[in-house]
Amino acid sequence: MDLTYSPEEEQFRSQVAQWVAANAPRTQDRANLDALRAWQRRLHAAGYLGGAWPREHGGANLNEMQQAILNEELARANAPGPINAMALWWVGPAIIRYGTEEQKKRFLQPILAADEIWATGYSEPGSGSDMAAAKCRAMRDGDFYVVSGQKVWTTLAHISDWYFILVRTSTEGPKWGGLSLLLIDMKSPGIEVRPIRQITGDSEFNEVFLHDVRVPAQNLLGAEGQGWEVVTSALVNERTGIAGSVRFDQQFERIVAMARRRQCAGDPLWRQRLADLAVKARVTKSFGLRAMSDQLHGRMNPHLSAAMKLFTTELSQRFSETGVDLLGAFGALWEGQARTPDNGRWAYQFLYDRSMTIAGGTSEVQRNIVAQRILGLPRGT
């Protein structure tokens, strides 16, 4: 197996690194919606957006290696992702694959230009990560669907223009067979968005209530009953890639530097803990290379993505726990406070990472997938 990059790929890496250094938004602008829209548009104009999208739909049409290199360099520079990331990764590819020509013409270009921000509605209060148990109901009424129900943990719903939402159109047959996918204008009468205040103080997630929302039937994506297929094919895109290993390497360097400043680097117990993080960071890179190899050779391995998600999100928590433990009492100090070691980033990261093993499918669900579909273990009774 040859894991080296070709001269052409190294040239592309250098080109990307120089462009990101010159164009990434300033740190103080990274919470500004207009600045983040402008950043996404710069990425698009430079040919670095929608790498997996066909060029006829406005995508960059990068090959797999170019997309991986781009992701690595964005992570290395700590550049923010595009504000419309969920639409770029899931909504757009789903519309390209399952949408009508009218839907493609209507939605794809505004996604790329960040003119319309999208949220995705899967989880519900009574079903959590069990998407097949969704109860949000869509009843056909002539040329419309009437949607009623509730979604929860909807990222960016408070700033979104459109909703990519899994709804139940039938109660007949297996529970996953009665699900459909609708594209809903968030300004439709009957939609109520309530931000959820998180332990970090942010309000990234939301509850969304739908009260008899009338949705044109032409906004059905795919066929009735095809929602489970649409959503599961989209979620594969969430859990693959190799940029995560770059972030772990960066966090490891920060932790080692802090251990030296705190005079812990020579302690046998701390050295063992740091070595464990180093090994797991390297495993993450190997995971990513395996996924990349599958992509390059046309192998579809959705169950590997569950293992990757499980491993990397739990490792994120191990990193932030280590950072806080190294700081001792100082680990409780927040960003921006005077004399806070490492600028207080570990306290925020520790709290934020609590959500990582829930978002995108809980660790419990991922363990079941790994046990049943990779290891071939029997389903529990």
Give the tens place of pLDDT for each residue, 270-305. Answer: 999 999 999 999 999 888 888 777 777 777 666 778
Does the pLDDT of residue 98 top 80, yes or no? yes
The structural domains of the chain, with segments of one domain joined by +, span 7-83, 118-226, 240-374
Residues 6+ apart with CB under 8 A from 29: 35, 36
Nearest Cα to 315, choosing from 349, 271, 269? 349
Among residues of the chain, what percentage have pLDDT more than 90? 62
Per CATH, the homologous superfamily of domain 118-226 is Butyryl-CoA Dehydrogenase, subunit A, domain 2 (2.40.110.10)
The per-residue pLDDT for 286 is 87
The per-residue pLDDT for 109 is 96
Q: What is the DSSP string of 257-300?
A: HHHHHTT-TT-HHHHHHHHHHHHHHHHHHHHHHHHHHHHHTT--
Give the tens place of pLDDT for each residue, 15-32. Answer: 999 999 999 998 888 889
Give the tens place of pLDDT for each residue, 297-342. Answer: 777 666 778 888 899 999 999 999 999 999 998 888 887 666 777 7
On whether the CB atoms of residues 212 and 146 are closer than 8 A, the answer is yes
The per-residue pLDDT for 173 is 86
From first CA to last CA, the distance across the chain in angstroms is 42
The per-residue pLDDT for 235 is 63
Q: Helix, strand or coil for residue 180?
A: strand
Q: Which CATH class is domain 240-374?
A: mainly alpha
Orientation angle between helical segments 302-327 and 345-352, nearest 10 degrees? 140
Does the pLDDT of residue 238 top 60, yes or no? no
The conformational region for residue 263 under phi > 0 = left, psi -120 to 50 = alpha, else beta, is left
Tokens read off for 143: 């040329």
Domain 7-83 has CATH 1.10.3720.10: no
Give the tens place of pLDDT for each residue, 130-174. Answer: 788 899 999 999 999 999 999 998 999 999 999 999 999 999 988
Whole-prediction pTM: 0.86
Provide the annotated active-site residues: 238
